[in-house]
Structure 1
Amino acid sequence: MVFDAHEKMIPSGELASNCLLAGDPKNPPLLLLHGAGPGASAASNWLLCAPDLARHFYVIAPDAIGFGKSEMPNPIPEKISKWMGYRVEQVKGLLAELGIEKTHIIGNSMGGALAMQCVIEMPELFDKCMLMGAIGAPFTKSPTLARMMSFYDDPRISRYRELIESFVYDPSVFDNIDEIIQERFAKAMDPELRPIQELMFKAMNEGMDSIIIPPPVLNRMEHEWVIVHGRQDKVVPLETSLYFLEHLKNAELHVLDRCGHWAQTQRWDAMLPIIMNHFLPQVAC
């Protein structure tokens, strides 16, 4: 039986988390950590993937602190490393509340840096791991990423459309691109969320170097990692994944053609087999 995806507010330490849940809780747990961007949330990153994953996993996808409907810290942090700390504690509290002793994990973009920080601090809670277009490495900031971080300087729908379309390799393949843009723009402009995200993106823009994970720390990680990157990613360049491939002890890299920053929506035909072969090879075979 596949359990339908639904959202639920769950205690997770100091701050409660709004979570997208799907699948049978008896299945192997799979924690999905979404990326940043104005209006981003767990559902915006993972909802379309959830039905396929829920056939084999218990899917847990929280809105990262600072995004979606999860509770917000008070006062609002001024440094991106403090935001990251809140999110690590959020993951720890969430897994404890759900009674999960060990889980697989996938981190997309900002969620990739968070996934690695969680594994560094709480290695016993994680089994196999995956990164998708992840930050957390030194890289040359792309013009698209710079425009995303400065979105709130001029938050108009036309600029938001330009931003979202730059995340994908070919916007024409999406039947619902206008719906995605309208829905995420509305979330980005929510009067309660907007002032928080303005401060958060300012902190991110000024402090990206503070969340870079140095080679000696990556070298000490014993977990098995699969790294996925879109060859045409205009947001986070391939050099980040090459850095992780160089310094992680147990890692392999898949570079997907005809794919921008959202591999899980643009190349799900390739992503799902990679996920299954990595996390559940006995089922994939």
Structure 2
Amino acid sequence: MEFTFRTDVGKVRAHNEDSGGVFKNDIGILAVVADGMGGHRAGDVASAMTTDFLRSTWENVPEISSVVEAEKWLVSQFELLNEQLYSHADEHEECRGMGTTLVVALCTEEFISIAHIGDSRAYVFNEFGFHLKTSDHSLVQELVRNGQISQEEAEHHPRRNVLLRALGTEREIKIDVTTLQVEEEQSILLCSDGLTNKITNDELKSHLEDEDKLSSKAEKLINLANERGGEDNITVALIHYTSGSDRGMKQ
């Protein structure tokens, strides 16, 4: 596996409320993208706490050898994180109302388990095409599901950033988890909405098809989002499964 992670403050925001990273151990790698919410109410604290927690727990995770174990571990980490964030906000006045979106990919040599809450996304690109593997927990996506607006209308809806679910804002949370089989020459893209609000799915696919190094692909995606306004923070994590003869982990 090859991987890279990039985050950028963008062209308008004073500071970066996105956080994340790609962390490896003997099991595989854990890719994390968290988009903090709350602005002056410490969205950056929420996303940083989330990344630090997951980095630490991944370093010390017991053996994960099955899809069931991977999905169970992801759900338990999200629940523990939610409890920590909610308690921190309750105990610190300056953090009241903080929260974060979160998308995580647990990548082994056999399978990829993806968990998320909010509107940070996970995409998969392989010989079968380019596909969004998460569904935004947002107001406009709910309107799409109910048939009230089209997907095209959702992309430009004035309330497209209104979230229905996030980490740390409620005592109880609902997490979506899915698992994919590993394919050769397969790429996983995790990103915050600072990227997807500026770049279409077709454009994302086109950049992943390029022969560039992963780091160059990530940088080009961020540069394009910035060229189109960069009103939000922009974060990209890319993981690529190479052919069998090239297997291994490198950055």
Q: Which has the higher contact order (CA 8 A, sep 6+)?
A: 2
Does the pair score TM above 0.5? no
Class of the TM-score when normalised by the shorter of the 2 chains:
0.3 to 0.5
Could you state the TM-score of these two structures normalised by the residue count of structure 1?
A: 0.32
- Which has more strand, going by share of residues? 2
Could you state the TM-score of these two structures normalised by the residue count of structure 2?
A: 0.35
